[in-house]
Homo-oligomer: A and B are copies of this chain.
Amino acid sequence: MFNDEKVLPQAEIIAIGNEVISGLIQDTNGRYLSQQLHLLGVNVLRITAIGDDKNCISRVVEDALERVDIVITTGGLGSTYDDITKDVLAQIFNSKMILDNRVRSMLEVTFKKRSQKIPANLHSQYEVPEDATILYNNKGTAPGFLFKRDEKKLFSLPGVPLEMEHLFDTYIASDLKKIQKGVIDHRIIKTVGLTEASLWEKFGPVEPLAKLVTVASLPSYLGVKIRLSYCSKNTEQVKIRLKEAELMVMTSLGKWVYGKDNETLEGKVGELLKEKGKTLAVAESCTGGLIGHRLTEEPGSSSYFLESLVAYSNEAKTGRLEVPSALIKKHGAVSREVALAMAEGIRKTSGADIGLSVTGVAGPGSSDKKLVGTVFIGISEEKKSNCEDFIFYNDRSRNKERSAQAALNLLRRWLLNLKM
């Protein structure tokens, strides 16, 4: 999988909880830990979710300790009757339970602040396995534990993400940094507007890139992400390789790339608007407010985003946006003509430099004799305007998401003056 991975320590993650295994909640701890471990040069082999079952926990933990150097469990450390992780681990490591005064005094302080006594059901939290190192938790009631067997380590963390992350950062990351032998790092290049097949066709042969780094292509209905990964003992070398690979991708696909790693399309658009000193207003129909919602996820968006008008009714289109009702009558609310009139209307009535509009049929029904998934996106500035049309084929929610993505991408290309 990775270039140099054999030099690295190996880990497994075990998520424990009936609520996870029954599908009631999504386990997100596995992903968080996996990302963090990679950055610390630890290769993750498995993430296993299991229920609060004694035999199953024992077996999965023992098997993982056979295979890898580091095992991290999450969950099952609470104080309700189905939380059994601590007892099962104590048995696995032949450790008897003792009382820990520091856990008790930490809880006392917490409850004193609320002028309360420690509830009886939390008393079991002071009982800890004698042979474990205690990972004191000041973000919750359950401490974590570190058990050792020969050179191997097992960390047991609570399942609440906030507490799990806190204990990982406080105890595990610092521990692993001491033995760090290398780094696995990634660069994610995010594209919009191409299918996976046409993206790789435009890129050409992938071999030169694949010689440099490990490449993964991650398609979704909002765009394709390209992940470049490299692993080495030499941290500097990892940076250089990823930079080189990134340049190779940008050279052929730059026009379709809106950002990397944690960057977002709405962030890119915001950056461009700020750079050019332009303001924006949006007229949304089928997206229902999603474009405004995405734009305002960016801190500071109030400096360029003036307003969004969700003109769901025809009255809002004619009244607020001054779209002539004859135009709607002639072409239908979902049409090129109305999209352009909406973009111009929101620009003029709001006083923004740029008007962006979306009108379409999200589905499942269509009152407009247009196919479900038909979407028109308009953009208007004082001296020029444009409209693009799309036919998506998805359900209501996805059509809304794809329409918002296409609208933000049209705006990005408009601001960059990119012809496609």
Contact status A396-B297, CB under 8 Å:
yes
Do A309 and B306 form a contact, CB below 8 Å, given A216-B18, A293-B289? no
Query: Which chain A residues numbered 192 to 244 have a C-beta less than 8 Å away from chain B?
Result: 197, 200-201, 214, 216-219, 221, 227, 229
A48 to B292, CA, bound (A): 38
Do A310 and B292 form a contact, CB below 8 Å, given A1-B18, A201-B119, A297-B397? yes
Task: Let me know if A262 is at the binding interface, CB within 8 A.
Answer: no
Query: Which chain A residues numbered 282 to 311 have a C-beta less than 8 Å away from chain B?
Result: 282, 284, 286-297, 299-302, 305-311
Task: Let me know if A246 is at the binding interface, CB within 8 A.
Answer: no
Which chain B residues lie closer than 8 Å to A417 at the CB level? none
Do A307 and B299 form a contact, CB below 8 Å, given A49-B30, A186-B24? no
Scoring A32, A287, A294, A302 by chain B CB atoms within 10 A of each residue's CB, the highest score goes to A302
A188 to B23, CA, bound (A): 12
Contact status A45-B34, CB under 8 Å:
no
Which chain B residues lie closer than 8 Å to A311 at the CB level? 307
Interface size class of A (residues with CB under 8 A): 35 or more
Which of B24, B282, B363, B396 is the one whose CB lies under 8 Å from A216? Answer: B24
Contact status B31-A23, CB under 8 Å:
yes
Task: Let me know if A28 is at the binding interface, CB within 8 A.
Answer: yes
Q: Which residue of B lies closest to A24 (CB)?
A: B227
Give per-residue flags for A107-119: 1 if the beta carbon is below 8 A from chain B beta carbons, else 0: 0000000000001
> Which of A51-59, A93-101, A406-414 forms part of the interface with chain B?
A51-59
Task: Let me know if A415 is at the binding interface, CB within 8 A.
Answer: no
A163 to chain B, nearest CB (A): 11
Contact status B288-A295, CB under 8 Å:
yes
Which chain B residues lie closer than 8 Å to A324 at the CB level? none
Scoring A23, A45, A400 by chain B CB atoms within 10 A of each residue's CB, the highest score goes to A23
Q: Which residue of B lies closest to A296 (CB)?
A: B288
Contact status A362-B296, CB under 8 Å:
yes
Task: Let me know if A251 is at the binding interface, CB within 8 A.
Answer: no
Query: Which chain A residues numbered 111 to 161 have a C-beta less than 8 Å away from chain B?
Result: 119, 121-122, 160
Task: Let me know if A50 is at the binding interface, CB within 8 A.
Answer: yes
Contact status B197-A119, CB under 8 Å:
yes
A45 to B56, CA, bound (A): 8
A330 to B26, CA, bound (A): 47
Task: Let me know if A370 is at the binding interface, CB within 8 A.
Answer: no
Contact status B24-A32, CB under 8 Å:
no
Which chain B residues lie closer than 8 Å to A1 at the CB level? 18, 22, 51-53, 82
Which of B24, B214, B297, B312 is the one whose CB lies under 8 Å from A305? Answer: B312
A102 to chain B, nearest CB (A): 21
A189 to chain B, nearest CB (A): 12
Scoring A53, A119, A162, A308 by chain B CB atoms within 10 A of each residue's CB, the highest score goes to A308
Given A24-B188, A289-B310, A306-B316, output 11 extra A-B contacts at Cβ < 8 Å. A22-B34, A22-B229, A23-B34, A48-B48, A80-B217, A121-B197, A288-B293, A299-B396, A308-B308, A309-B309, A309-B310
The 9 closest A-B pairs by CB, nearest first: A289-B292, A288-B296, A289-B289, A23-B34, A23-B35, A308-B310, A307-B316, A289-B293, A47-B49
